[in-house]
């Protein structure tokens, strides 16, 4: 996977940079279900879990960085890399070199991560919420958090989740989501491909992209709602043969093909439409493409 390779390559670069930097070795106690905020403007953030009731922050501060700030208590802790003020990204300064945070904490924390130009990796966190905000950098997550929300401007997002709800937004970058999602999925990208592959019966799927392909493989719960739209790109939906829903699909200039129902094409002009019922029709599926093929498969 290209994101894993990118993170590994970044780690090698940071190993070299650390020779001229300040090592980090900080430990704090944490309550069960504590809220933790991690903030690093540039560099790397890697989070893993362990079976201790404490957080350990390792890694290094880049040359010229002011300090590592730890504020709060065992129930709510904020960890922030403080860069020199003035200039740089959003007034955060660019006088210091990139820093690396290597964090170990209990699995049941509620975790929030803020980054501007940083690679982010999270493995094993399974608290109530996981929130990641980043401007530029790839994000790779393996989580059991109940509610996952990720926003990135420029970067690929790869998520393996065992969660109730997942929401991912990217302006420029691919989104790949897999795992056992219990309730709802929302994925949006302006420029990038979207791939969703879930093993549970979802109640709601929303997927949209301006320039990119969408591929969704999922089972649906009773009365599920599915909406997917691609302006410039292909859209493929793969469902189990026992799916029950009202299915509506349309493509303006692309080819529409489906394993169910009959595709209707106008006698003159572009466009094709499909309106059919799967099973008892107790859910709703609406699919649209403007310039791209639309494919529906039942397997």
Q: Using pLDDT thresholds of 50, 70 and 90, give the confidence band for residue 178.
A: very high
Backbone angles phi, psi at 279, to 5 degrees: 60, -130
The per-residue pLDDT for range 38-53, each reduced to its tens digit, is 999 999 999 999 999 9
pTM check: above 0.75: yes
Q: Quick one: average pLDDT of 101-105?
A: 99
Q: How confident is the model at residue 90 (pLDDT cuts 50, 70, 90)?
A: very low
Please state, in angstroms and rounded to a whole number, the distance separating the CA atoms of residues 96 and 241: 56
d(CA 100, CA 138): 15
Stretch 194-220: mean pLDDT = 95
Contact yes or no for 111/36 (Cβ under 8 A): yes
Question: Where do the structural domains in the chain lie, given as residue ranges?
Answer: 156-298
Which of these ranges, 38-52, 85-99, 120-134, has the smallest mean pLDDT? 85-99
Measured CA to CA, the distance from residue 9 to residue 98 in angstroms comes to: 15
What's the burial of 270, exposed, middle or buried (CB within 10 Å: 0-12/13-18/19+)?
A: exposed
> What pLDDT, on a 0 to 100 scale, did the predictor assign at position 268?
79
Q: Hey, how many other C-beta atoms are within 10 angstroms of the C-beta on 86?
A: 10
- pLDDT over threshold 90, residue 6: no
The larger pLDDT score, comparing residue 92 to residue 102, is at: 102
Q: Looking at residues 211-223, what average pLDDT do you find?
A: 97
């Amino acid at each position: 996977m290209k994101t894993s390779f990118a993170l590994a390559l970044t780690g090698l670069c940071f190993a070299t940079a650390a020779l001229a930097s300040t090592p980090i070795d900080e430990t704090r106690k944490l309550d069960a279900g504590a809220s933790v905020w991690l903030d690093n403007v540039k560099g790397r953030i890697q989070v893993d879990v362990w079976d201790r009731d404490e957080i350990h922050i390792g890694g290094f501060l880049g040359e010229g960085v002011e300090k590592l700030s730890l504020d709060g208590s065992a129930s709510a802790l904020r960890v922030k890399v403080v860069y020199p003020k003035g200039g740089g990204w959003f007034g955060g300064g660019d006088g210091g070199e990139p820093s690396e945070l290597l964090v170990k904490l209990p699995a049941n924390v509620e975790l929030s991560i803020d980054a501007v130009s940083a690679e982010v990796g999270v493995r094993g966190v399974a608290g109530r919420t996981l929130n990641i905000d980043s401007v530029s950098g790839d994000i790779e997550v393996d989580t059991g958090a109940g509610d996952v929300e990720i926003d990135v401007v420029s970067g690929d997002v790869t998520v393996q989740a065992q969660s109730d709800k997942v929401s991912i937004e990217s302006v420029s970058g691919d989104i790949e989501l897999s795992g056992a999602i219990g309730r709802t999925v929302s994925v949006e990208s302006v420029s990038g491909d979207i791939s969703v592959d879930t093993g549970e019966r979802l109640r709601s799927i929303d997927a949209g992209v301006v320039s990119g392909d969408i591929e969704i493989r999922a089972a649906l719960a009773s009365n599920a709602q599915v909406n997917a739209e691609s302006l410039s790109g292909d859209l493929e939906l793969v469902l189990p043969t026992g799916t029950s829903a009202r299915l509506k699909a349309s493509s303006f200039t692309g080819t529409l093909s489906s394993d169910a129902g009959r595709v209707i094409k106008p006698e003159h002009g572009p466009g094709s439409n499909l309106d059919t019922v799967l099973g008892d029709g107790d859910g709703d599926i609406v699919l649209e493409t403007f310039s791209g093929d639309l494919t529906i498969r039942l397997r």
